[in-house]
Amino acid sequence: MIEMEKKYLTVPAAADYLGTSERFIRRLIAQRRIAFHRVGRHVRLAEVDLEAFAQAGRVEPITARRVRRGVA
């Protein structure tokens, strides 16, 4: 089994990774909407947790087939 190496990011690096502001990342942390780790006073976010957060918000595109079936 291949194990993924965990990489931890700072808040500014996490904001760059998701293409958002630091303020948004800090709000996610304060609202406990994203997993994070405390290392002493510092906050770190695992890349795998950021990717999981982004994938959880994924919305599938509407296709012609889905529109015809009335699923959209």
Structural domain boundaries of the chain? Answer: 8-69
Per-residue pLDDT tens listing for the chain (72 residues): 455 578 999 999 999 999 999 999 999 999 999 999 999 999 999 999 999 999 999 888 888 776 777 665
Beta-carbon neighbour count of residue 11 at 10 Å?
18
Residue 39 is inside which H or E element, if any? Answer: strand 37-39
pLDDT at 51: 95
Kind of pairing between the strands at 42-46 and 8-9:
antiparallel
Look at residue 21 in the predicted model and tell me its pLDDT.
Answer: 97
The pLDDT score that the predictor gives to residue 60 is: 85
The pLDDT of residue 66 is 67
Q: How far apart are CA 57 and CA 44, in angstroms?
A: 21
pLDDT for 40 = 95
